[in-house]
Amino acid sequence: MDTALQRRVSVIGAGTCDAATSALARRLGALLAGRGWTVVCGGLGGVMTAVCQGAREAGGRTIGILPGDDPAAANPYVDVPIVTGLGIARNVLVVKNGEAAIAVSGGAGTLSEIGVALKIGRPVVAIGHYADLSGVRPADTPEEAVALTASLIGAD
Amino acid sequence: MDTALQRRVSVIGAGTCDAATSALARRLGALLAGRGWTVVCGGLGGVMTAVCQGAREAGGRTIGILPGDDPAAANPYVDVPIVTGLGIARNVLVVKNGEAAIAVSGGAGTLSEIGVALKIGRPVVAIGHYADLSGVRPADTPEEAVALTASLIGAD
Amino acid sequence: MDTALQRRVSVIGAGTCDAATSALARRLGALLAGRGWTVVCGGLGGVMTAVCQGAREAGGRTIGILPGDDPAAANPYVDVPIVTGLGIARNVLVVKNGEAAIAVSGGAGTLSEIGVALKIGRPVVAIGHYADLSGVRPADTPEEAVALTASLIGAD
Amino acid sequence: MDTALQRRVSVIGAGTCDAATSALARRLGALLAGRGWTVVCGGLGGVMTAVCQGAREAGGRTIGILPGDDPAAANPYVDVPIVTGLGIARNVLVVKNGEAAIAVSGGAGTLSEIGVALKIGRPVVAIGHYADLSGVRPADTPEEAVALTASLIGAD
C-alpha cells in the first residue's frame, strides 16, 4: 500500500525511561504496526526508541522528527528521520503529523505535546502519568490504548 | 532605563475569558509594570488583552508574539507586536522570551506553554486552572503571583 | 536497504512550471531514484510534483515537507508527507533534510532555499534560472546535475 | 507616538563586515530612525550591530530577532531582543516583521532573506552585493535606499 495513505499516530513520552516503560512502549509500537499505522515520534531515546523498535520489529514504519540538524541523532529504529533545527518547537510537528497522540508516561515535554494535541483537536490517549488530565483519555495497557485510538480516529 | 535590560515575564492564558478573569489579568499586568517588568504574551484576546491593558495603563511595556503574519491582529495594548507565521508553534517563543511564566486560567494552549516552560526550566506560577499541575507553583491572587515570581527569578 | 540509510537530495523549484521544465524535473527524479537516493521537496506542485513522479515511477522514495497542516495537500507522488504549519519557514526544513540541493528553474521561494543551503554548507546545483549565482554550480541537464551532485556529496 | 504604530523596516546583511560597510549601515540606521521607523534585524554583529547603533544614536527603536535562546547574545544596540531558538529559520521572522527589507552587502544568509522577502511580497532595496538580483531595487547610498524604501511603502 502507498505509505502516504497509511494512517499515522504520534507516540509521545520521555527521552529516558525505565525497563518496564520501555517494554510497554515497545509492545505499543508492535500493536500500532500491526494495525498498519505509521508511528510518528520525536526520534530520540527512551519511549521514542522503544516504540520505534517495536514497530519496526513488527514490520511497521516509523518517522522521527528531530529537534536538531543531524539525522544520525535518530534512534536506530527510525525509518524516516526528519531534521528540523527548531529545538523544542519540533514538538508541534510531532503532534501535527499524527491523527491522534498516545502518551506513554513522560514529563514536561510530553505535557507540552498533549497541550498542542488538545489545542488542535487531536484525540489524546495516555498510559500512566498524564492519564488524569482533563481532555485526555486514559488507558491501562497498550492494547487498550490502541483500541481506544482506533475508535477515536474512526479506524476500528 | 534601556528596555533591553528590563526583566520580562510571560503571561499565558485563554484567548477569551469572563469578566472576572479579565479583571484579574488586568491587575496582574499593572503589578508587573509596577515592578518595571515587560509583559510578554501571545498578543491576542482574553487574558492577553487584559494583561497588556493593565500593563500599559501602569506605564509598562508589552510584547505580543503573534501566530499569524499581520501585526494588526495584535490587541491594542501591545507595544511591540512580533509576527511569526508559525501558528501554534509561536507558543514556544512566548515562553522563551520571559524569565518566568504566569498562567491565568487558560485551556489547552496554555497547557502546551506550561509544558514548554517546565521543559526549558522556566518557573511557572499559575492562578486558577493549572495550579495543581506537578512543577507549577500555585497563587491565589495577582499580588501573590507577582511576589512568588519575583522570588523565583531572584528579583525580590 | 534501510531507508534511513539512503542518501537524500533536496530538489527545489517553482510550484507551477511549463511542460518542458516539468519533463526535465521528472527525468531528474528518475535519475535520483536510480542512484538509490530519496528525493526531499516541498511536496506541492510544478517542479515538486514532477520530480516526485519521476522518482516514484523509477521505484524511488519521496518526502514532501509541506507549509500547511493538511497532508492531503501533498502531490500524489509524495511517499512521506510531513506537515509543518510553518508557512514559508518550512523551506528551511526542505533544505536541511537533503545532503545537497538541486534547483530547477524556480522563483523567489527557490532563491530563499538556495540562500539557506549555501548558508548551512549544502552544495547547490542549479539547472536554469539561478545557475549564475555565486556559490551555485551550474548544470545543463538532469544527467549533469546528478553526476555533479554525486561528486559534491562524495557518492560517485 | 505609540510604538506599535511606527513603521518598521528590516535591515539585512552580514554578521561581520569591514569598516566602510559598518559606517554605511550606521548611517542607514540613523536615517531610518530619522524617519521615525523602527529597525528590525537579526540582532547580531556586523551590519546588524552597525544599523542598530546608528538608529539608537539617532533616538530610534531597534528589534533584534535572534537565532538562539539567549537575549544577551543581542548586540548592545538592540532595544527589544526576541529569542527564537529556531536557528536560521528565524531569518523568515526578520523579514516578516518589516514592511520592506534593505540589504547591505551580505552573503548567503542575506540571500535567503531576500528570497523570503520577494516571495511574500516585501519590497527589497539593496546596497552593494545583491543589487543586481531580479526583483531587487538597487541603491548606491543609504540616503537613496531610504528614499526608495519610503516610496515603495507609501511613506514619502
Q: Mind listing the pLDDT tens digit of every residue in chain D (156 residues)?
A: 355 568 999 999 999 999 999 999 999 999 999 999 999 999 999 999 999 999 999 999 999 999 999 999 999 999 999 999 999 999 999 999 999 999 999 999 999 999 999 999 999 999 988 999 999 999 999 999 999 999 999 997
Q: What is the per-residue pLDDT for C94?
A: 98
Q: What percent of chain B lies above the pLDDT cut of 90?
A: 94
The pLDDT of residue C1 = 40
Place of cell 521505484: C59
Q: How many Å apart are CA B110 and CA B104, to the nearest integer?
A: 9
Measured CA distances, D30 to C32, D116, D150 (Å): 51, 25, 15
- Chains contacting B with at least 3 CB pairs below 8 Å? A, C, D
Q: What pLDDT does D101 receive? A: 98
Cβ contact (<8 Å) for C113 and D115?
A: yes
Contact A118 B110 (CB under 8 A): no
The pLDDT of residue D129 is 86
Q: Is the pLDDT of residue C92 over 90?
A: yes
Answer CATH for B3-135 from 1.50.40.10, 3.40.50.450, 3.40.50.1370, 3.40.605.10 = 3.40.50.450
The whole-number average pLDDT for the span C74-81 is 98
The DSSP secondary-structure symbol of A42 reads: -
Chains interfacing with A (3 or more CB pairs < 8 Å): B, C, D
Q: Hey, are the CB atoms on C86 and B88 less than 8 Å from each other?
A: no
Is the pLDDT at B1 greater than 90, yes or no? no
* Pair type for strands B8-13 and B101-104: parallel
pLDDT tens, residue by residue, A144-156: 999 999 999 999 7
Alpha-carbon distance C72 to nearest alpha carbon in chain A (angstroms): 9
DSSP state at residue C136: P
Number of H helices, E strands in chain B: 5, 7
Q: Which of C137, C136, C131 is nearest to C119 (CA)?
A: C136
Predicted confidence (pLDDT) per residue in A46-98, tens digit: 999 999 999 999 999 999 999 999 999 999 999 999 999 999 999 999 999 99
Domain A3-152: give its CATH code. 3.40.50.450
> Is B86 in Cβ contact with A107 (below 8 Å)?
no
- pLDDT tens-digit readout, B46-62: 999 999 999 999 999 99
Q: What integer pLDDT is reported at residue D1 of this predicted model?
A: 39
Query: Which residues of chain B lie closer than 8 angstroms to A101, CB-CB?
Result: none
Query: CA D38, CA D16: separation in Å to the nearest integer?
Result: 22
Band (pLDDT 50/70/90 cuts) for residue B6 is confident
Q: What is the pLDDT of residue B3?
A: 54
